[in-house]
Amino acid sequence: MDKGKIVILLMMCLLMAAGMGHAASSLVDAKRTAGIEKKLKRNPGDMSLRCEYVGALLSQGDTARAEEVLDYGMRLGEAGCLYIHRARIAMDRKRLTQAAACCASAVGTGLLPDEEPLILLVDSMTRGGVAARLDKDGKANKSDYYALKGLGQIRLHDGDTLAALQCYQEAYRRGDTLLVGLIDSLKGAESVQSDSVVARIEFTRTYKKMEVTCKLNGLKIKAEVDTAATESSISGVETQFILKNEYVSKGDIVDNSVLIVRELDFGEGMLLRDVRLHHKRNQESPVVLCLADLRRLGNVVINEREKVLEVRR
């Protein structure tokens, strides 16, 4: 067999292998989708399962079936992520106005932009379309705070701290008491603008969490910053780990419920000493820091656009 025929034969084999790989992948996706559908039939009222099913259908390109499931879910009174899926379909069809309306509806049901980046993307692509709808909804319904809370998140992402603060304060007046910590962190924004930024602590967002990297008695960890928390805390798993590896001693534990950490080092000379971490056995994050403790560093302002905590003095 000459070289030309061998090359053609090899190319045909590669193409067949690629096709078989794609078919195998499609088969796995189809089995996964069928499995979700089976579970949904047993639990038709499970909204998260319905959202997962719609997402699986969309990933397979079955938009028609996905819309059927969406419409049925809407008739059941379900919302949230279903609106987000509808926004994705609208985006694919270049219907940006419809996408903005769907995103605003998602926020109105409690799904906030920091939990769903698509909302911020659509707002940017529609030149503030989502924000305009949320502003209108917030003014139309004087008892609703979700729209204002979502609008505040968009303003914060755009770097307009004062506008965000106004939205959060109004949402608080309407009943969202969990915003106290975040409002306090932004409240001094106007008065501290002339203060010098002495440090910038980078943070990342993962779903509902804001996380910073620091060193706990020399151990590098990721700590969640919870703007609604009233005290800093540590999980049972993390406590066992740092005890076993001698980053703390049993003598650092007070009343079997509070761990005294000698230092939390955030870099740039930002050091917290003798931090009280309350033990919470089933806590998901290894360490959760409240704003009250972080403010021992100075005036802490959340710069959402640059994803940094600015420490001002």
DSSP letters, 94-136, are T-HHHHHHHHHHHHHTT--GGG-HHHHHHHHHTTSHHHHHHHH
By the 10 Å C-beta count (0-12 exposed, 13-18 middle, 19+ buried), 43 is classed as exposed
For the chain, what's the residue count? 313
pLDDT at 192 over 60: no
User: Are the C-beta atoms of residues 185 and 157 closer than 8 Å to each other?
Assistant: no
- Which residue shows structure tokens 């955030």? 266
User: Are the C-beta atoms of residues 170 and 184 closer than 8 Å to each other?
Assistant: no
Answer yes or no: CATH 3.40.50.11600 is held by domain 33-177: no
* Closest listed residue to residue 286, CA positions, set 231, 227, 233: 233
Mean pLDDT of 253-280: 92
pLDDT at 287 over 90: yes
Which of 110-114, 138-142, 212-216, 253-257 is predicted least confidently? Answer: 110-114
pLDDT at 312 over 50: yes
pLDDT tens track for 162-190: 788 889 989 988 888 888 878 877 775 55
**pLDDT given for residue 184 in this prediction:** 78
**pLDDT given for residue 215 in this prediction:** 95
pLDDT tens track for 67-121: 787 777 767 766 777 888 888 888 888 999 999 999 998 888 887 777 788 898 8
Mean per-residue pLDDT of the chain? 82
Listed by start position, the domains of the chain span: 33-177, 197-312
**Residue 199 bridge partners (DSSP):** 311
pLDDT at 243 over 80: yes
One-letter amino acid at 132 equals A
User: Are the C-beta atoms of residues 298 and 313 closer than 8 Å to each other?
Assistant: yes
* Closest listed residue to residue 284, CA positions, set 236, 221, 247: 236
**pLDDT given for residue 221 in this prediction:** 93
CA 187 from centroid of its chain's CA atoms = 23
pLDDT at 135 over 50: yes
Pairing of strands 258-265, 271-280: antiparallel
CA distance 259 to 287: 11
Q: In this structure, which topology does domain 197-312 adopt according to CATH?
A: Cathepsin D, subunit A; domain 1 (2.40.70)
